[in-house]
Every structure is written in structure tokens, then in C-alpha cells.
Amino acid sequence: MRLGWAGRRRQDCKRGSRLISTCPLPACRRPHPAQGLLQVVGPGRSAHRLVAMTRDPSGAAARSLPPGVQVVGGDLDDPRSLQPALAGVSAVYCHALSKDGATADPQELVRARHLAAAARDAGVQLVLYNSSGGRGCGYGISQMEQKHQVEDVLAAALPTVALQATLFMEELWKRYTRPGILAGTFTWSTPSDK
């Protein structure tokens, strides 16, 4: 199965391998990204299996995942827990390494290093990372700049594809945008001159 390109090199993953998602499970409970991933690699669609990694495989978030998703224990803050979670995994989809915040979370880079090392050591062939648009534009927004640093950390260890989205529809319904939208005004954190 061709999963994508990292640079100019095509990445093929062997049949029967596992694809792992490191997205925060509360996010995976929503129709995206777990449902989207299942539509591509779910039962009957490919010879691959979708695996979700969580700190608490018996927790409510893990139990609420759609059928067809295997759950494994692993914690990006505990590098030793990642090796068994990534065993037999050929590709990783990394949705987020930190929560939304007003400033960049320094642990995001630490988690990126943990994931990169463990994925490389486990023989993972490809990381698909949900990054941020605007690379090299000099916006001066710490969260965006740090996501680009995460891209570099991952790409230094193994083939990486960075999804550089500029806006997700869910951004229009978050606690910091929803009130304004309901009042008829869309306020955004990027300065208008950027």
C-alpha cells in the first residue's frame, strides 16, 4: 500500500502491517481522524490494521473508539512505553503532541524527540504529522513555529510527511472562536498584517 511521499521517495508499507495513530483519544472519538483513517485502512479496505495509542487503554476514551481500532498503551512522555506500542507498526499518524494553548508547549518538542527515536528504532517507515501552515513566513506565532521545529525533529529521524493545514473547520467551534461566530464576528489570533 502506498501511503505517501516523504521528499521524493515513495513509501510502501508491507501488507498486514499496523498503522498507528498517536492522536489524543478525545480527538479520535470525534468522526475525525479515526473515522477518516478507518475509511482508508479499516477492516475490509486494506491489509493494514489501525491502532490507537493511549496512556490508558482501558479508559473511557479508548472504549469509545469506533469498532476496528485496536488500542495499545503508550505515553509520549515515557519513551520506554513507546517501543512496545510501535512494534510492528509501519506508519504513524501524529495528530498532536500538545494541547491547544495560548503559547507553545515546550513538552511538544520533547515528545517529538521521544516519538522520532522510538519510531526509528521500531523500524517505522513513515510518519504523517499534522503540522501548521506558514512555514518560513515569519508570522512570529510560537505554536506555528514550534510545529515546524517538530517537523524537523521527525524528518531528521525517518521519512516524514507534514500536513501543513492553515485552518480546520473545528477551529470555528472552539471555546475561543465560537462566541464571536455566534455573534456574527470571526476573531482570529493571526495579526491582520501577517
The pLDDT tens digits of the residues spanning 88-130 come to: 888 898 888 888 777 889 999 999 999 999 999 999 999 999 8
Question: Which of 150, 41, 43, 48 minimizes the C-alpha distance to 89?
Answer: 48
Burial class of residue 94 in the structure, from the number of CB atoms within 10 Å of its CB (0-12 exposed, 13-18 middle, 19+ buried):
buried
Cell of 117: 527515536
Per-residue pLDDT band at 40 (split at 50, 70, 90):
low
Give the residue with greater pLDDT, 5 vs 177: 177
Give the residue with greater pLDDT, 36 vs 162: 162
Least confident of 30-39, 79-88, 131-140, 159-168: 30-39
| Mean of all residue pLDDT scores within the chain | 78
β pairing state of 9-12 and 2-6: antiparallel
CA distance 158 to 152: 10
> Which pLDDT value is given to residue 37?
67
The domains located in the chain, with CATH, are: 2-167 (3.40.50.720)
Residues in the chain: 194
Q: What share of the chain is helix, strand, coil (3-state, %, to 5)?
A: 35, 20, 45
The answer to whether the CB of 52 falls within 8 A of the CB of 20 is: yes
> Which pLDDT value is given to residue 27?
44
